Amino acid sequence: MAPDALSDHRFVGYRRKLIEEIRGRGIDDLVTLQMFDRVPRHIFLPEGVWPRAYEDAPIPIGFNQTASQPSLQAYYLSILNPGSDDKVLEIGTGSGYLTALLALMADRVYSVERVRELSQRARKALDDMGVKNVALLVGDGTIGWRKYQPFDVIVVSAASPSIPSALVDQLGDGGRMLIPVGSRESQELVLVQKTGFLVTEDVVKGECTFVPLLGRFAWKADEASP
């Protein structure tokens, strides 16, 4: 990344437009919108796609993966509402963009990614931004990150055939998780909430398309490619 990329003013106007677009999609939670103003999305993406960095669209980041659509991430944040005392587990670091947004809102973020190169790139961008409250792990997120449980918030950014039970187990009392559940082609976004021993599951959004969650308690890697 060029040394001045972080403060590149060409991108400020695009960022404001993106925020307007997110508002246009019905997300008007001010805290969430402010976060989108604070994180330069382009530094989390390969330089070749920088001209598209502030489109409200999924963007390819290599290794058959995409950075999720910003308005969908805004939706995640507005529902999960991570607070400054919260411990967050993210499954699917990908570009690290959502990781940075979460890190600004929460106390600590623990993020698991199965593709080592993506995790390394995300670390570099987070360092460039000066984000210090994020721990990254390369591994299978379908088993969670037991060492740091329980979590107040769990964010799953890849589609799963079912809800991995380890993730529900690692949710703390009062904890909430969003996870896309369904087929390889189309999923519903499910909000899982835990209060004491009571666990509720509610579909909060239909017809989403995420990249597949590949791991022990989701799809196997060789089932994934069409």
Contacts of 9 (CB under 8 A, 6+ apart): none
Element (H, E) at 20: helix 10-24
Site string for ligand SAH, 150-169 (x = CB under 6 A): -------xx-----------
Contacting residue, 75, 100, 108, 142, with ligand SAH by CB under 6 A: 142
Site string for ligand SAH, 62-91 (x = CB under 6 A): ---xxxx----------------------x
With contact defined as beta carbons under 8 Å apart, do 36 and 22 qualify? yes
Q: How deeply is 213 buried, as exposed, middle or buried, from its count of CB atoms within 10 A (0-12, 13-18, 19+)?
A: buried
Helix residue ranges, H only, 111-164 = 116-129
Please pick, from the candidates 40, 106, 126, 140, the single residue that binds ligand SAH as defined by CB under 6 A: 140
By CB under 6 A, residue 211 contacts ligand SAH: yes
Are 144 and 123 in contact, with CB atoms under 8 Å apart?
no
Q: Please report, for residues 46, 60, 135, 166, the alpha-carbon distance to residue 52 in angstroms, rounded to integers and kept in the order given.
A: 11, 10, 28, 36
**Nearest residue (CB) to ligand SAH, 114 versus 194:** 114
Give min distance, CB of 42 to ligand SAH, in A: 13
Residues involved in catalysis:
68
> C-beta of 76: minimal distance to ligand SAH in Å?
9
Please count the other Cβ atoms lying within 10 Å of the Cβ belonging to residue 121: 22
Q: Does 170 participate in binding ligand SAH (rule CB under 6 A)?
A: no
Q: Decide: is 213 part of the binding site for ligand SAH (CB under 6 A).
A: yes
Residues engaged in binding ligand SAH (CB under 6 A):
65-68, 91-92, 94-95, 97-98, 112-115, 118, 140-142, 157-158, 211, 213-215, 218
